[in-house]
Amino acid sequence: MYHIPVMPLEVVQYLINKSDGLYVDCTFGGSGHTSYLLDKFKDIKIIAFDWDEDSSNRFLEKEKDFNKRVIFIRDNFKNIKKVLSNISINKVDGILADIGVSSKQFDDLDRGFSFNSSVLDMRMDKRNDLTAKEVINSYSSEYLADIFYKYGEEYKSRQIADAILLRRKRGVINTAKELQDIICSVKKSEGKINPATKVFQSLRSFVNDEFQNLETLLSDACKLLNIGGRIVIISFHSLEDRIVKQNFKQNASNGIYKILTKKVVTATQEEIKINPRSRSAKIRVAEKINV
Ligand SMILES: C[S@@+](CC[C@H](N)C(=O)[O-])C[C@H]1O[C@@H](n2cnc3c(N)ncnc32)[C@H](O)[C@@H]1O
C-alpha cells in the first residue's frame, strides 16, 4: 500500500464545486485523492504535482487508468503559478494540498524519515542538495537549536543541539537511529510519543523548506482560482495549520475568500481506527468569492 488517502469523502465534498472543472492536486503521492476524485466525477480533469521520483513512477504505473484526465508535473508545488502558465493555464476550479510525507516515504527506511532509518536524508525530492545528514553534522549548535525550536517547538532544543555537537567529536552521525539515540539521552519518554518526534519533524520541515513552500502556494492559489473555486488544505502539524488559518483569515478580511470550515475538520473515529495516520489531520477550506 503506497498511502491511504485521508478523509477522501470530505475532500470530494469540499473541493468539487464544478462537475466538469479543472482541478490541481498539489500532492499526488500514491494517487489516492486524485483517483478518488476522478472516480466520483467523470468529467473533471486534474493537474497533479509531486516532486518525489517514487510518486512520478506511481503516476506512470497508473497513467493508462487515468485515460488522459491527469497531467503529472514533477515539481515543487510552490512553482504552481509559473508551471501552469507554461502550459497556458491561468485559472483552475479548485486546489487540493495534502501536506507532508506519504506512508511510503515514511516507511522506506532508506529515505530517513522514520526513527529507525538506516540513513539520515529526509529529502522528499532527491534532486535537492541539502540532506538532514549535512544539517546535523555541519550546522552550529545555535543554528540547530533554532531549527528544533522554530520548526518543531522542541522545548529542549538547546540541550539536544549541545548533545549532537558533543557526539560529533566522536565522528559523523550517519543514521536516523543514531540521531534518535542522542535525543533520547537528553529527553525522556513522555507517554507513547517518541522523544525524538519534534526534532525529526523540525528537521524534515527545514530540509524540505515546507513552511515556505506552503506560504508561496497559499499566496499564488488565491490568484489562480476562478470565482467559486475552492482551496482545500490538509495539514498534520499545528504550525502549518496556523499558516493556513492565517492566510484564509487574511483573504477573507480582504473579501476574496469565504471560509467554509469555521471549525477545522478532523477524521472520524471510524476512519482513525482504519487509518491511524489520519488522527492528526486537519482540513481547512475556503472559496474564492471575489477577485
Ligand atoms: C501526504 S502525501 C499525499 C498523499 C496523496 N494525497 C495520496 O492520497 O496518495 C504528500 C505528498 O506530497 C509531496 N509533497 C510534499 N511537499 C511537496 C512540494 N512542496 N511540492 C511537491 N510535492 C510535495 C510528497 O512528496 C508526498 O508524496
- The domain limits of the chain are 8-104+210-288, 108-208
| Reported confidence tier of residue 134, pLDDT bands at 50, 70, 90 | very high
Q: Which residues contact 200 (CB under 8 A, 6 or more apart)?
A: 113, 115, 152, 176, 179, 180
Phi, psi of 224 (to 5 degrees): -85, -20
CA of 182 to the centre of ligand 1 (A): 29
pLDDT of res. 205:
98
* Across 227-236, average pLDDT: 98
Task: Indicate if the pLDDT at residue 190 is higher than 80.
Answer: no
**What pLDDT, on a 0 to 100 scale, did the predictor assign at position 47?**
98
Question: Which candidate, 216, 231, 202, 239, places its Cα nearest to that of 75?
Answer: 216
Task: Determine the pLDDT at residue 18.
Answer: 98
Residue minimizing CA distance to atom 5 of ligand 1? 29
Confidence of residue 192 (pLDDT cuts 50, 70, 90): confident
Q: What's the burial of 189, exposed, middle or buried (CB within 10 Å: 0-12/13-18/19+)? A: exposed
For residue 33, report the distance from its CA to the centre of ligand 1, in Å.
Answer: 11
Which residue is closest in CA terms to ligand 1's atom 8?
32
- Mean of all residue pLDDT scores within the chain: 97
What homologous superfamily is domain 8-104+210-288 in, according to CATH? Vaccinia Virus protein VP39 (3.40.50.150)
What number does the ligand 1 atom closest to the CA of 8 have? 8
Question: What mean pLDDT do residues 55-59 have?
Answer: 98
Answer yes or no: is pLDDT of 220 > 90: yes
Q: Is the CB of 205 under 6 A from ligand 1?
A: no
Q: Atom 4 in ligand 1: which residue has the minimum CA distance?
A: 29
**What pLDDT does residue 128 have?**
98
Q: What percent of the chain has pLDDT over 90?
A: 97
At how many degrees (to 10) do helices 141-152 and 157-168 cross? Answer: 140
Q: What is the pLDDT of residue 285?
A: 98
Output the CA 273–ligand 1 centroid distance in Å: 23
- pLDDT bin (cut points 50, 70, 90) of residue 54 is very high
Taking Cα atoms as reference points, which of 45, 94, 54 lies closest to residue 74?
54
Residue 50 has pLDDT above 80, yes or no: yes
CA 102 to ligand 1 center in whole angstroms: 6
**Has residue 131 got a pLDDT over 90?**
yes
pLDDT of residue 251: 98
6: Cβ below 6 Å to ligand 1? no
Using alpha carbons only, how large is the chain's radius of gyration in Å?
Answer: 20
- What pLDDT is attached to residue 189? 83
What does the pLDDT average to over 262-268? 97
Q: Does 31 contact ligand 1 (Cβ within 6 A)?
A: yes
Nearest CA to ligand 1 atom 25: 52
User: What whole-number distance in Å separates Cα of residue 50 and Cα of residue 45?
Assistant: 17
Whether the per-residue pLDDT at 4 is higher than 80: the answer is yes
Stretch 118-144: mean pLDDT: 98
Mutate to test the pocket of ligand 1, among 27, 78, 282 (most ligand atoms within 8 A of CB): 27
User: Which grid cell is 71?
Assistant: 497531467
Please give the pLDDT value at position 252.
98
What is the CATH architecture of 108-208?
Answer: Orthogonal Bundle (1.10)
| pLDDT for 1 | 86
Residue 50 Cα to ligand 1 middle (Å): 6
